[in-house]
Amino acid sequence: MPRWVWGVIIVLVILIWVVPNPAAAGAAVGNAFQALVVFFRSLGSAAVG
C-alpha cells in the first residue's frame, strides 16, 4: 500500500479511539505495554529455569 494510505488509516484510528476518550485510550496503551513486559519477563524466566 502507498505510504499516504497508512497515514490516513493512522489518523482515522486516532480520531475514532483516542480523541473521544483519551483516558481510556491511555489506559489501554498502558495495559498493552504492561502485558508485553509481563510476557517477555515470563519468556526470560522460562529460558533461565
d(CA 46, CA 30): 24
Quick check: 47 pLDDT over 70? no
Over the stretch 1-37, which tens digit does the pLDDT of each residue have?
A: 788 898 898 888 877 776 667 667 677 777 888 888 8
Residue 35 in domain: yes
Residue 7 in domain: no
Q: What are phi and psi of 2, to 5 degrees?
A: -65, 155
d(CA 14, CA 30): 16
* Residue 22: per-residue pLDDT: 67
Domains: count for the chain: 1
Residue-by-residue DSSP string for 1-19: --HHHHHHHHHHHIIIIIT
d(CA 1, CA 11): 16
Residue 31 in domain: yes
* Residue 43: per-residue pLDDT: 76
**Contact in structure between 17 and 25 (CB atoms under 8 Å):** yes
39: containing domain? 22-49
* Residue 13: per-residue pLDDT: 81
Residue 8 in domain: no
